[in-house]
């Protein structure tokens, strides 16, 4: 097995990346970077890694094969493009970037440099999502209707709410729900949404919550309740799907679904029910990234794919602010 030398930039959620990398065979955690001295010194000591106070220095000076970019989204473009110029493969945290122009620049830079770009839309790797993908390609048939509740707790970081950075909860976090539906149901054609700043007046004019209708190119439809409308102590998530051949729903506490229910369309059918241990999917996601780096194969979440999930979240906010439906361009246009 080829050894992969890893760097991690940004030691907030980057700490969770480090935990997964440590448990993967054939990985050397070679470098970490963060402007906070306590964070970088703690991680450097724990993982026997060299430390830098910024990601640009790490990318220019460290000897790494691949890097996790775990910084606020406004820096994703510059760090990814620099990594590409250095021949370094990139796992970039979601959301991919604040604007579609940024996303497109990241895709172009990595394509031209011949390096891998994967975006950390980890929910695609959850066993329930993978199982539903398999079922919709078999006995259930395509999804025709979906209903989703995905409402997180309070987030204090200013960058999260900044329109030019995280873009607020409908972009920074709801992109997980949007990406899951795109993975399972295909590209979105039209977005109609209503919402506002209902729970976070200190962050006006940022939109914090929305009721969203999506029409997909397949003709399928979905309704989503999204945003910061809960408290972490009891935040949860619910996904429901109706298909030609049956129905599925899975749910659990926020970002940790554990309950599965499936019923085929037959009066005699007994529902299939299962409960799994909690799984945040970081290990699955990072193992996949490493496999793609070693084999030079396309990841499950390419930059071009993740860019289209950002496009939907931007369209949701645009629809709320304009009061009009937003029609998305086809991916090839």
Q: What are 267-303's pLDDT values in tens digits?
A: 888 999 999 999 999 999 999 999 999 999 999 999 9
| Contact assessment for residue 9 and residue 70, using Cβ atoms and an 8 Å cutoff | yes
CA distance 278 to 296: 31
Cα(131)–Cα(150) distance, rounded to whole angstroms? 20
Q: Which of 8-22, 110-124, 319-333 has the lowest mean pLDDT?
A: 319-333
The whole-number average pLDDT for the span 170-191 is 98
- At residue 184 the predicted structure's pLDDT band, cuts being 50, 70 and 90, is very high
Residue 190, both tokens: 């039209």
Residue 163 pLDDT > 90, yes or no? yes
Average pLDDT over residues 250-256: 96
Has residue 329 got a pLDDT over 90? Answer: no
Helix (H) or strand (E) holding 315: helix 303-322
Residue 331 has pLDDT above 70, yes or no: no
Q: What is the mean pLDDT of residues 79-96?
A: 98
Do residues 263 and 140 make contact, with C-beta atoms less than 8 angstroms apart? no
Residue 333 has pLDDT above 60, yes or no: no
Residues 6+ apart with CB under 8 A from 291: 297
pTM of the model: 0.96
pLDDT at residue 268, as a whole number: 83
Mean residue pLDDT across the chain: 97
Task: Tell me the CA distances in angstroms from 246 to 134, 219, 286, one per residue in order.
Answer: 13, 18, 32
pLDDT at 143 over 60: yes
Share of the chain above pLDDT 70, in %: 99
What single DSSP character describes residue 249? E
Q: How many CB atoms lie within 10 A of CB 87?
A: 11
pLDDT score of 21 more than 90: yes
Q: How confident is the model at residue 330 (pLDDT cuts 50, 70, 90)?
A: confident
Q: If you ran DSSP here, which 8-state letter would residue 127 be given?
A: H
Across 35-56, average pLDDT: 97
Q: State yes or no: pLDDT of 233 exceeds 80.
A: yes
DSSP-assigned letter for residue 94? S
Residue 154: CA count within 13 A, CB half-sphere? 9
Query: Quick check: 247 and 240 in contact, CB under 8 A?
Result: yes
Checking if the pLDDT of 332 tops 60, the result is no
pLDDT reading at 219 higher than 70 = yes
């Amino acid at each position: 097995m080829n050894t992969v030398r890893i760097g991690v930039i940004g030691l907030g959620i980057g700490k969770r990346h480090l935990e997964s990398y440590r448990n993967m065979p054939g990985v050397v955690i070679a470098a970490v970077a963060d402007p906070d001295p306590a964070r970088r010194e703690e991680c450097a000591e724990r993982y026997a890694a060299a430390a830098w106070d910024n990601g640009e220095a790490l990318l220019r000076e460290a000897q790494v094969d691949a890097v996790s970019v775990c910084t606020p989204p406004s820096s994703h473009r510059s760090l990814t493009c620099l990594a590409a110029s250095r021949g370094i493969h990139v796992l970039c945290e979601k959301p991919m970037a604040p604007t579609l122009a940024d996303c497109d620049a990241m895709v172009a830079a990595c394509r031209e440099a011949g390096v891998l770009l994967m975006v950390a839309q980890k929910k695609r790797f959850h066993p329930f999502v993978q199982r539903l993908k398999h079922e919709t390609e078999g006995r259930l048939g395509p999804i025709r209707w979906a209903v989703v509740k995905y409402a997180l707790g309070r987030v204090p970081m200013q960058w999260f709410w900044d329109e030019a950075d995280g873009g607020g909860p409908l972009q920074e976090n709801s992109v997980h729900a949007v990406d899951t539906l795109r993975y399972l149901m295909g590209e979105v054609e039209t977005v109609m949404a209503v919402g506002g700043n209902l729970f976070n007046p200190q962050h006006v004019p940022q939109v914090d919550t929305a009721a969203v209708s999506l029409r997909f190119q397949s003709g399928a439809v979905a309704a989503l309740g999204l945003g910061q409308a809960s408290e972490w102590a009891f935040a949860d998530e619910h996904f429901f799907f109706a298909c030609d051949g049956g129905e599925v729903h899975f749910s659990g506490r926020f970002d940790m679904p554990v309950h599965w229910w499936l019923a085929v369309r037959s009066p005699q059918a007994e529902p299939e029910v299962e409960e799994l241990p909690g799984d945040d999917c970081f290990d699955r996601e990072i193992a996949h990234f490493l496999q793609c780096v070693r084999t030079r194969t396309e990841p499950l979440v390419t930059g071009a794919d993740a860019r289209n999930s950002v496009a939907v979240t931007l369209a949701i906010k645009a629809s709320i602010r304009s009061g009009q439906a937003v029609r998305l361009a086809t991916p090839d246009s």
